[in-house]
Every structure is written in structure tokens, then in C-alpha cells.
Chain A
């Protein structure tokens, strides 16, 4: 399909195309738009928080509203911004990196996106329907159970819906990576981003169900009179904390491992060297994931689990520092002796290494169970996890977007503006969060609506707010860069960075079938191997033949819409039984479309060999 034809299509046609698409590249764009929107929203919430805390005893926003903003900032950033943005990159890149024409489950891939989107919308509807959730992103019971308005219900139902979507996305990537690799793409030749996607998907698969159960229990308690978290009825509030953190800790690695993967792609590319210690990088990734499942109680050192449990979880947590350290040193040694080009993505990678090292260091400090009695729930923790999430994940996403932008959109983000963006964001980030380590130890607990004068906390908070403004400026500049580049629309070649991996071997814009002929992989960094052999492009593993493609479908949208409607009905049935009708309509839509999907054959279609030959002639 040529660009000329694409331009002529009406807006309605494009919209319909995206509503029904099952193409992983378009789903990537959808995730990018969705995640980007929520990232901006979460950023605005962050700004409200920082403005409120600019000076002592400030009355900028009310206490209740502050709690809602603070809760939604955390929830939005984790579930609706960071994860979808990573999914955007995974969808855009992973199938290409393994030489696949498509993902294993294109339909489910689309369903995953729409569930996320509707879950996120449902969650944010709470702003307009009586107030957002107000019990923190961790929603500890019984505070969440006792919260009088519907906010927490939106939290539980919204996250439940988007959680299903995440689970499906995870399974899709797992099967794609296992079953769809091109000939020669063995496990130990997979690019690190693919590896980390794979491991993150395993984490999703095993970490999300406990959250699902916890959210169900919360929904049952709040909306159906159950007693899981009501102590006077025999309930136990600690169950929620366990379930939440059995999910919550792996969640950190679900976010940060793909970010590691992104940097493990960028650093070799711009050092012109293969990744140092590839196999130990893979091993470290798997080990981090494995250990990540047995450390959840380090979020609960002050709950009173006793010294034995606390000690075990403390030592287990410290152990994670070892594989993480391996990674840091491997990145450094990848650059050692290399030919380093400082492009914008590389700049992000260079900013990431010291930032994340600080986050990891404070992580080890927090792991010391006894000392955590001082750090816990103070601004020290806030500083720590922002160093991990912003210093690791957000820098990773921004780096990844800049790096793969030419792959996704065929255009190149402005390098000069990109570098400015990096510096402003980076300085703002450290200004905002470094001081918060000290604020915490100076006696400022987290989630504080206001701090009092004469407690020595004024200056630190002011600095933090100034830093936050810089970060906001940086984020705006990034968005501006995207707009500017898109309007300019200047196309670049399919391999503008001199890439090493398969995603740079396909023409730009990427054809809907990715690879006309499945490539033959002859080593780690397959494209680099061919470049060194003087071929410059991949050797095909098969003769040209018909390509099977999946049909577009509107059903994923409908299924998700159904759950969205049902969710609203379920939330409001406590107020009036008539809302059950709404819930029923929603469930009928969802199960009806599932039934339809089951009985209607969907065999896809074929792009014929002859057409492929014609097209090849047209492009070159």
C-alpha cells in the first residue's frame, strides 16, 4: 500500500481501520496514543501534588482532592501510562526483532488493547462521577473499604478490566516469542528487548492473577456485602496487602525489565559493539524475575510479620542487587572500547545508568529490614521508586520512542530538540527526587497533603517542586518534538541508526506482513552479521510465497465495551437495583461477542505471491 493511497483515505476510514485492526504495528500506535494520553494526565496530577507541596501549610487543593490526585497519579502512571507505553514498543518491535510476520494472537492482541483502554477510561470517569479513588494506588483495606464514595469501586473495576487486557497481552507475547521466531533465531540469539519482553510477560502471567483475586475480594466487599477485609466480621486486612504486593513487586520488574531491554539495544547500537556478556545479561534478567516473586513482603516490614519473616525477605531482596549489578557493569563494558555516538537515545541511556544505580542503591538500603523502619512510607521511599520508575522506565520509554520512532513512523525526531529535552527532563528529575531522600529521613512521611512550618522541610519541598516544573517542561518539549516531526513528515531510510537487529532489516514504512520472505538468522545481531559479511541485508529463509494474514475485527472493541458497560452497572447497582439492567446489557454484549467469535469461522486471507512481486517492483 503506498503512502499516496493512505493520504487519500477519509478520516472515517482511518478511524474504522484502527478500531478494527489486528495488526501489531497499528496496535502499537494505539498503545502509544493511549499510554501517552494517560502519561500526560498522570503528569498533570503530579504537578498538582507538587504545587500543593510548594510551601508549608498550603491550601492550594483540599485534603480529599489531594488524596484523589495522589491516588490517581500513582495508579495512572503505573497501569495506564508506563505499561501501555512499553506495550507500544513491544508491539512495534518484538515481532520484527524475531523475524515474525505477525504475533501469535492478533485478535487477542487487539482485545488486550481495548480492555486496557476501556479500563482506563472507566477508572478516570470517576473524576466526573462523585470523586476519584482516594486510598492511594495501593488501596489498603480497610481505608479503601470504608471510603464513602464510588471512587474505589471505579478503581477496582477499572483495574480489573485493564488487568485482563494486560494478561492477554502477556500471553500473546509469550506464545509469539516461543512459536513465531524466524529460522535460526534461537533463544540465545534473541535481542535483549525480546528477552526482557518475554520475561516480563511471564511475570505478568503469574503476577496479575493475585491482583485479580484481590480486586475481586475488594469488589465483593464493597458492592456485594462480603467480609474479606472487615475485621469485625472475621475478615483480615493483611490479606489485601499480601495479594497486592505479590502482584505489586513483580509489577516493578514488569516495568523495568523491558526498559533494561531497550537500553541493551541502544547501547550496543551506538557503541558499535555487541552487548558485553550477552548470556549473563539473559541470565540476570531471568534471575531478577525469579527473585522478584519472593520479595513482596519487603513492602510490609512495618506490618508486624515478625523478625524471622522480615529477615528472610530482607536478605532475598538484597540478593536482587547482584543480577542488577551484573547488568550495570555489562552495559559499561559494552561501551568500553566502543565507538560511542552520542545521539538522543544514547544520551538517555547514559543518563539512565547513574540514575538507576542510585535507585538500586537506595533499594538495597530499603532492603535492610531494620533500617526500613525509618525509611518505610516516608519520602525516602517516594524518592527511591521514582529513581527506579522515572530513572529507569520513563527514561527507557523516552529513549525507546526516540530510537524506534523511524521504525514506527518512518520519520526521525529532531535530534537537537531531543537532546535539549533530555537535559531539561534529566536535570528536573534529579532536582525533584534527590532531595526527597533527605525529606523522608528528616521526618516527612509520604502521601502528606501538607507539611507544617518549622519542621525543616520547606526548602527541600520547594526545590522538589522546581524540579517537577522542569520535568513538565521536558515532557512538553517531547510532545512538541513529536508534533513538529509529524507535521514536517520528512521520511528517513529504513535503517537510520545503523542498527544491528532484525527490525532494521525491513523496508520503511513497514509492510503489513513485515517480512516478504522470512529471514534466515545467522547469529546474534543478525543484521550486523550480514553487514559484516558484506550483504547489508538479510538472506531469505524461504522462497517467495503466499502470505496468510488475519482478518480485521470489530469484536475486540465490542467485548471490551461490554465489560465497560457492565462495570458501570455493577458499580451503581448498590444505589439502585435498576442498574442491574445496565450490567446485564454489558455482560450480554461481552458474552454475545465471545459467542459470535466462537461460532463464526475466521480464517483470515492471503496476500498472493504475484501481488507481492508487483509491490516489490513498485517499492524499489
Chain B
């Protein structure tokens, strides 16, 4: 998909625009610092359009400045009556034809990319292994169902960095929009039957922020999620761990054990599943201990969890959890927090995405040992750059 757009970008690198733009924002959130296949394509297209537009703008501004400076009324010329020009066919043709050409230059890659980005048929070789994830949006959280893997998560989406991951998006209430600026463009989640598909592909390991981009209620601005992009080997291990979760495992500390009982007693379990159960009234809490944030936006620590449990309305107005459970006192909330923080079924967590260790996938190793390890090293160094 790169081709001449790639060369164009190289040209731009010289002019420094890319550098300038990629200084904008945070690397885990900004669309100007692409970290994935989709966002990189889009960034190239943006650069092309910005380039054309800056050219047009400069032409306008140069004429404009000249005109305003040159033809401004001078002292003593108040009564001067200029020639009443009717128009000029030549000029008018010029400024009709040139924009058309410029737009055609922009239209070709636009159409190309529009088709490329909406093509959700996996390549034939990998069709059976393609990773399909069902994304379900609800006020104000995200649920991820790894279709063939029997894994459910909420709020944090784990993906491997070596492949396109295919998503099927839907909503259980109003329209939301799924957006990970650094990895890909957005796609709306329409209610019920009307399902959309897209693919995402992160090039680099990291924890990326995802946003809801369609107004969905009071806490629209707080409907964040994370994408934990890990190396293929780490992803494999995560899958294995998640598939072997024992939701009934006894927590280690006494407080957490009590918390688990409170969790059952206060009807938390009616909405929140632990394990791969498809119950999805509230977010799945299987790997809550590995979350990077509480409720998508609060700093991840015990205090935040306790605060949230005591009064979710304060932190996410209009959320569906408020008043759905008996009131908790602080002690109870702390115990539940202990329990929740103990839920770490996998050794793979956000740290593995952030540390930059690239672990190759098992299947690749089996197939082609030497080749991949070389590739690995390459990619590894790339990551660290």
C-alpha cells in the first residue's frame, strides 16, 4: 500500500512538516504519531492533503498580500476610478482547471485507501487463524469478545503486533464510535443488528488510549479504553492464561477473600463476570488486577477503586452501575478492592507492552526458526528506537 505515497512522505520529511506534526500530542493518543498500519496510511494521506492545501493557501495569500498592499487607496487618489474589468476567461479557466487537477491527485489515494481500510477479508493463508474480536459498546464502557478463543475482556483490548486484528463492532444502547487514534481511524458502533467491521494493526508494542468519538450521554468524554499491544509470543501466552482462568480460585490474602464474598453478597456478580462467562451487563473483571486505569479514566490504585465503588456517579455521571447495588461502607469497599486487584490471571500485562521485549510467536518458531529470529532482532531494535 505504500508505493508512491511512501516516496511522497519521504519528500515531506525533508520539508520538516512531518517532524513538526509528529511533535504534537502524546505518543499513545495522537493521530499525528502513527503506530499502526491504518493510522500510518491515514497520516500519509493527511500529509498529501495538507501539502496540496498549503500550496493553494500560499498562492491565495501571495496574491492577497500583493493586492492589499499595492492597490490600497493612496492619499489624493480618493476620486480615482479604476478600470471596470469584466473578467478574464483565461484566468477563470486557469483557476478552474488547476484545482481540478489538484483534487484528482488527492482523490486517487483517497479512494484507494478508503477501499483498503474497509477490506475486512483476511488474506487467504491466514484466513482460518485470523483473530476476530467482537467489540460491544455500552454506556460507558467497552467489551471485547475474542470469538474463537473463548476469552472475554472489558476496557482493555490485548492484541498481538504481528498481524491485523479484525473487529466486529456493535452497541447495546446508543451509537458510540470506536477510535484508537495512534493505530487506526474510527468506526461507529450502531445498535443491535447493524454491525460494522474494521481491522486494526499495531506496529509497535505499547498501551494505547482508545476513545469514544460519538456523543453517547453525559459521560461520553469518560468512555476511554486501552489497547495493550504485545509481541506475538506474549499474546500467545496471554491467550493461554486467559483460557485457563479459574474464576473460583481463592484469593491469597484474607482481605481479598472477604472481598470476594462481599462481591457475591452485594450482587456485583449479577452484572460483572469473572472468567469467560458471556454475562456482559457490566464490564468483565477477569483481569482487573492488570488494568491500567479504573473505570477507564481514573488512576489505577486502591483509593480510586474504593472511591469508585462508594460513588460511581461522581466519577462517571449517568453510568449504569449507580444504585444497582447496596450501599457499601469504606471497609467493605476496600476489601472488594483488594479482591479485584488480586485478579491477575495472566503473567502478561501492560508492563509487557511497555517494556519493549519482543517475544516471537511459537508457531513462527516452529515453522522457520532461523529466519524469524533474525527478523526478530531487527524488529526488536526498531521497537527500541
- A–B: direct contact at CB < 8 Å: yes
Q: When chains A and B are docked, how far (Å) is the Cα of A510 from the Cα of B40?
A: 61
Q: Is there a chain B Cβ closer than 8 Å to A169's Cβ? A: no
- Could you tell me if B114 and A314 are in contact, using CB atoms closer than 8 angstroms? yes
Q: Is there a chain A Cβ closer than 8 Å to B71's Cβ? A: yes
Q: Is there a chain B Cβ closer than 8 Å to A573's Cβ? A: no
A127: chain B residues at CB < 8 Å are none
- Could you tell me if B213 and A442 are in contact, using CB atoms closer than 8 angstroms? no
B214: chain A residues at CB < 8 Å are 140, 377
B328: chain A residues at CB < 8 Å are none
Which listed segment binds A: B94-102, B144-152, B247-255, B338-346? B94-102
Q: When chains A and B are docked, how far (Å) is the Cα of A311 from the Cα of B114?
A: 7
A447: chain B residues at CB < 8 Å are 215, 220-221
B64: chain A residues at CB < 8 Å are 332, 353-354
Which listed segment binds B: A366-374, A461-469, A482-490, A598-606? A366-374
Q: Is there a chain A Cβ closer than 8 Å to B374's Cβ? A: no
- On whether A332 and B63 interact (CB within 8 A), knowing A339-B71, A339-B80, A369-B110, the answer reads yes
Chain B, 17-75, CB within 8 A of any chain A CB: 21, 24-26, 29-32, 38-39, 41-43, 45-46, 49-50, 52-53, 56-57, 60-61, 63-64, 67-68, 71-73
A326: chain B residues at CB < 8 Å are 92, 95-96
Which listed segment binds B: A219-227, A270-278, A587-595? A270-278
Chain B, 248-281, CB within 8 A of any chain A CB: none
Q: When chains A and B are docked, how far (Å) is the Cα of A461 from the Cα of B318?
A: 25
Interface range on chain B (Cβ under 8 Å from partner): 35 or more
A335: chain B residues at CB < 8 Å are 67-68, 71
- On whether A368 and B173 interact (CB within 8 A), knowing A339-B77, A373-B185, the answer reads no
Q: Is there a chain B Cβ closer than 8 Å to A364's Cβ? A: yes
Q: Is there a chain B Cβ closer than 8 Å to A454's Cβ? A: yes
Q: Is there a chain B Cβ closer than 8 Å to A64's Cβ? A: yes
- Could you tell me if A455 and B60 are in contact, using CB atoms closer than 8 angstroms? no
- Could you tell me if B57 and A361 are in contact, using CB atoms closer than 8 angstroms? yes
Interface hub of A134, A307, A374, A446 (most chain B Cβ within 10 A): A374
Chain B, 79-134, CB within 8 A of any chain A CB: 80-88, 91-92, 95-96, 99-100, 103, 106-107, 110-111, 113-119
Query: Contact check: which of B99, B184, B222 meets A322 at CB < 8 Å?
Result: B99
- On whether A321 and B99 interact (CB within 8 A), knowing A277-B87, A310-B114, A335-B68, the answer reads yes
A146: chain B residues at CB < 8 Å are 173-174
Q: Is there a chain A Cβ closer than 8 Å to B192's Cβ? A: yes
- Could you tell me if A280 and B87 are in contact, using CB atoms closer than 8 angstroms? yes
Chain A, 411-457, CB within 8 A of any chain B CB: 438, 441-443, 445-452, 454-457
Q: Is there a chain A Cβ closer than 8 Å to B218's Cβ? A: yes
Q: Is there a chain B Cβ closer than 8 Å to A291's Cβ? A: no
- Could you tell me if B85 and A274 are in contact, using CB atoms closer than 8 angstroms? yes
Interface string of B217-245 (1 = CB under 8 A from A): 11111101000000000000000000000
Q: Is there a chain A Cβ closer than 8 Å to B381's Cβ? A: no
A477: chain B residues at CB < 8 Å are none
Which listed segment binds A: B175-183, B284-292, B360-368? B175-183
Q: Is there a chain B Cβ closer than 8 Å to A12's Cβ? A: no
Q: When chains A and B are docked, how far (Å) is the Cα of A276 from the Cα of B185?
A: 42
- Could you tell me if A337 and B175 are in contact, using CB atoms closer than 8 angstroms? no
| Chain A residue with the shortest CB-CB distance to B196 | A304
- Could you tell me if B30 and A368 are in contact, using CB atoms closer than 8 angstroms? no
Q: When chains A and B are docked, how far (Å) is the Cα of A455 from the Cα of B209?
A: 10
B114: chain A residues at CB < 8 Å are 307, 310-311, 314, 369-370
A325: chain B residues at CB < 8 Å are 56, 95-96, 99
Q: Is there a chain B Cβ closer than 8 Å to A170's Cβ? A: no
- Could you tell me if A278 and B86 are in contact, using CB atoms closer than 8 angstroms? yes
| Chain A residue with the shortest CB-CB distance to B50 | A365
| Chain B residue with the shortest CB-CB distance to A67 | B218
B125, chain A: closest CB distance, angstroms: 23
Q: Is there a chain A Cβ closer than 8 Å to B329's Cβ? A: no
Interface string of A222-252 (1 = CB under 8 A from B): 0000000001100011100000000000000
- Could you tell me if B213 and A333 are in contact, using CB atoms closer than 8 angstroms? no
Query: Contact check: which of B46, B95, B192, B318 meets A371 at CB < 8 Å?
Result: B46
- On whether A337 and B85 interact (CB within 8 A), knowing A365-B46, A371-B49, A373-B187, the answer reads yes
- On whether A365 and B49 interact (CB within 8 A), knowing A276-B87, A315-B107, the answer reads yes
A336: chain B residues at CB < 8 Å are 63, 67, 71
| Chain B residue with the shortest CB-CB distance to A452 | B297
- Could you tell me if A442 and B82 are in contact, using CB atoms closer than 8 angstroms? no
Q: Is there a chain A Cβ closer than 8 Å to B385's Cβ? A: no
Q: Is there a chain B Cβ closer than 8 Å to A302's Cβ? A: yes
Q: Is there a chain A Cβ closer than 8 Å to B371's Cβ? A: no
- On whether A341 and B73 interact (CB within 8 A), knowing A136-B215, A354-B61, A451-B221, the answer reads yes
Q: Is there a chain B Cβ closer than 8 Å to A319's Cβ? A: yes
A337: chain B residues at CB < 8 Å are 71, 82-83, 85
- Could you tell me if B26 and A302 are in contact, using CB atoms closer than 8 angstroms? no
- Could you tell me if A143 and B217 are in contact, using CB atoms closer than 8 angstroms? yes
Q: Is there a chain B Cβ closer than 8 Å to A108's Cβ? A: no
Q: When chains A and B are docked, how far (Å) is the Cα of A368 from the Cα of B41?
A: 12
- Could you tell me if B111 and A311 are in contact, using CB atoms closer than 8 angstroms? yes
A531, chain B: closest CB distance, angstroms: 10
- Could you tell me if B218 and A304 are in contact, using CB atoms closer than 8 angstroms? no
| Chain A residue with the shortest CB-CB distance to B45 | A371
- Could you tell me if B175 and A64 are in contact, using CB atoms closer than 8 angstroms? no
| Chain B residue with the shortest CB-CB distance to A315 | B107
B376, chain A: closest CB distance, angstroms: 31
- On whether A340 and B92 interact (CB within 8 A), knowing A64-B318, A310-B114, A373-B42, the answer reads no
- Could you tell me if A368 and B29 are in contact, using CB atoms closer than 8 angstroms? no
A338, chain B: closest CB distance, angstroms: 5
Q: When chains A and B are docked, how far (Å) is the Cα of A232 from the Cα of B193?
A: 9
- Could you tell me if A62 and B317 are in contact, using CB atoms closer than 8 angstroms? yes
- Could you tell me if A314 and B187 are in contact, using CB atoms closer than 8 angstroms? no
| Chain A residue with the shortest CB-CB distance to B69 | A340
- Could you tell me if B30 and A442 are in contact, using CB atoms closer than 8 angstroms? yes
Q: Is there a chain B Cβ closer than 8 Å to A376's Cβ? A: yes
Q: Is there a chain B Cβ closer than 8 Å to A125's Cβ? A: no
- On whether A302 and B185 interact (CB within 8 A), knowing A333-B91, A447-B220, A449-B220, the answer reads yes
- Could you tell me if B73 and A322 are in contact, using CB atoms closer than 8 angstroms? no
Q: When chains A and B are docked, how far (Å) is the Cα of A318 from the Cα of B82?
A: 36
Q: Is there a chain B Cβ closer than 8 Å to A493's Cβ? A: no
- Could you tell me if B72 and A273 are in contact, using CB atoms closer than 8 angstroms? no
Chain B, 330-366, CB within 8 A of any chain A CB: none
- Could you tell me if B84 and A274 are in contact, using CB atoms closer than 8 angstroms? yes
Query: Contact check: which of B113, B174, B297 meets A143 at CB < 8 Å?
Result: B174
| Chain B residue with the shortest CB-CB distance to A377 | B213
B216, chain A: closest CB distance, angstroms: 6
Q: Is there a chain A Cβ closer than 8 Å to B201's Cβ? A: no
Interface string of A139-160 (1 = CB under 8 A from B): 0101100100000000000000
Q: Is there a chain A Cβ closer than 8 Å to B312's Cβ? A: no
Query: Contact check: which of B83, B111, B187, B215 meets A315 at CB < 8 Å?
Result: B111
Q: When chains A and B are docked, how far (Å) is the Cα of A367 from the Cα of B113?
A: 13
Chain A residues with a Cβ under 8 A of chain B: 62-64, 66-67, 134-136, 140, 142-143, 146, 231-232, 236-238, 271-274, 276-280, 302-304, 306-307, 310-311, 314-315, 318-319, 321-322, 325-326, 328-330, 332-333, 335-342, 350, 353-354, 357-358, 361-362, 364-365, 367-374, 376-378, 438, 441-443, 445-452, 454-457
- Closest 5 pairs (CB-CB, A-B): A373-B185, A442-B25, A63-B218, A370-B113, A443-B29
Cross-chain pairs A/B with CB under 8 angstroms, 28 sampled: A142-B174, A142-B175, A232-B192, A278-B86, A306-B118, A307-B115, A311-B110, A311-B114, A314-B114, A315-B111, A322-B99, A329-B95, A332-B60, A332-B63, A335-B67, A336-B67, A337-B71, A337-B83, A338-B82, A350-B68, A364-B103, A367-B110, A370-B116, A371-B42, A372-B185, A442-B31, A443-B25, A449-B221
Chain B residues with a Cβ under 8 A of chain A: 21, 24-26, 29-32, 38-39, 41-43, 45-46, 49-50, 52-53, 56-57, 60-61, 63-64, 67-68, 71-73, 77, 80-88, 91-92, 95-96, 99-100, 103, 106-107, 110-111, 113-119, 173-175, 177, 179, 181-182, 184-188, 190-194, 196-197, 209, 211-222, 224, 297, 317-318
